[in-house]
């Protein structure tokens, strides 16, 4: 076995239409010593559609076993084998297993290469109609509403177009949070079932898209959201929001709850609001 052949190969697989598979992907699937697949059953279906006969060993490599599998795969590459890593769809390590293995190979000074191919992130950007000269990928947001809105609060002033992945059953809730934090009229696009039979792209303001998604949406989802508009004015500061915090607290609401509620909508840290409110209370009471 030639030394130059030994490597970790990250291979992009079709995100919906098997005709998007490249000739090089077919060659790598047929010739790899080991194929590490996120789902071995999906891999089998893909190779059947492509008419590829796999000659190497197929093993599972997913979020639940990647820690234990990684040393084994690194050792096999070091011994001269070619390891092909594939996920269910798209590029490994982009919100999928792969980063840990790449890092381990880099640390061991082993070759890492890539078979380029389909990407839901890039395709969604291309068809969104939003600016693509600068963008950032945010992956999946937290599932819990409070955590999700706190994460979005950190993106209120982000000037780049943002790309998110989301599960269909959580899409409406996520778009509602986005509308509350980033603004109801913030331009966005929901890209559903990209490259598949029922591909659909819905464009509009976040509130409008949340209303559309309320009845339920099916399929693989990628959400693209416009960056902040500098013309919309400066980001709010603690002093801008503090009067509302103090008023609601004085009316009987728990201070911490008010701060957590207001923070995502204004983009001001809940901790900063809480500390400012405590200081303001102390000053009003004359330090007593």
Q: What is the residue-averaged pLDDT of the chain?
A: 91
pTM exceeding 0.85:
no
Q: So what's the pLDDT on residue 1?
A: 40
Pairing of the two strands 82-86 and 112-115: unpaired
| Helices 255-266 and 270-284, axial angle in degrees (round to 10) | 130
Cα–Cα distances in Å, from 173 out to 12, 153, 218, 223, 278? 30, 16, 14, 13, 32
Q: So what's the pLDDT on residue 261?
A: 84
**Can you tell me the distance from the alpha carbon of 37 to that of 58, in angstroms, rounded to the nearest whole number?**
7
pLDDT confidence bin for 55, thresholds 50/70/90 = very high
**Residue 242 pLDDT > 60:** yes
The class (CATH top level) of 121-231 is: alpha beta
Kindly list the domain boundaries of the chain, sorted by start residue.
3-118, 121-231, 238-284
Lowest mean pLDDT among 77-81, 108-112, 241-245: 241-245
pLDDT confidence bin for 153, thresholds 50/70/90 = confident
**Can you tell me the distance from the alpha carbon of 141 to that of 174, in angstroms, rounded to the nearest whole number?**
8
Q: So what's the pLDDT on residue 146?
A: 87
* Fold matches, 3-118 and 121-231: no
pLDDT confidence bin for 2, thresholds 50/70/90 = very low
pLDDT confidence bin for 206, thresholds 50/70/90 = very high
SS3 225: strand
Count of C-beta atoms within a 10 Å radius of residue 152: 26
**Can you tell me the distance from the alpha carbon of 188 to that of 252, in angstroms, rounded to the nearest whole number?**
37
63 forms bridges with which residues in the sheet? none
3-118 domain in CATH 3.40.1010.10?
yes
């Amino acid at each position: 076995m030639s030394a130059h052949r030994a490597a970790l190969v990250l291979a992009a697989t079709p995100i919906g239409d098997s005709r998007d598979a490249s000739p090089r992907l077919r060659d790598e699937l047929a010739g790899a010593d080991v194929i590490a697949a996120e789902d071995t059953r999906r891999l089998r279906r893909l190779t059947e559609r492509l008419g590829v006969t796999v000659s190497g060993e197929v093993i599972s490599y997913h979020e639940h076993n990647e820690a234990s599998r990684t040393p084994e795969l690194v050792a096999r590459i070091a011994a001269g084998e070619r390891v092909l890593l594939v996920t269910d769809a798209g590029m490994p390590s982009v919100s999928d297993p792969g980063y840990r293995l790449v890092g381990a190979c880099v640390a061991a000074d082993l070759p890492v290469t890539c078979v380029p191919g389909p990407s839901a992130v890039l395709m969604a950007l291309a068809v969104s109609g939003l600016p693509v000269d600068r963008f950032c990928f945010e992956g999946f947001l937290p599932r819990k509403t409070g955590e999700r809105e706190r994460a979005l609060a950190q993106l209120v002033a982000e000037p780049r177009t943002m790309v998110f992945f989301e599960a269909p059953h959580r899409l409406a809730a996520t778009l509602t949070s986005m509308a509350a934090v980033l603004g109801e009229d913030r331009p966005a696009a929901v890209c559903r079932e990209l490259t598949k039979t029922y591909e659909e792209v819905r464009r509009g303001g976040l509130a409008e898209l949340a209303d559309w998604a309320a009845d339920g949406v099916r399929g693989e989802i990628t959400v693209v959201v416009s960056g902040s508009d500098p013309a919309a004015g400066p980001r709010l500061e603690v002093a801008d929001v503090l009067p509302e915090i103090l008023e609601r607290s004085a009316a009987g609401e728990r201070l911490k709850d008010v701060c957590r509620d207001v923070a995502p909508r204004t983009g001001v840290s809940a901790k900063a609001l809480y500390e400012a409110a405590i200081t303001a209370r102390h000053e009003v009471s004359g330090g007593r």
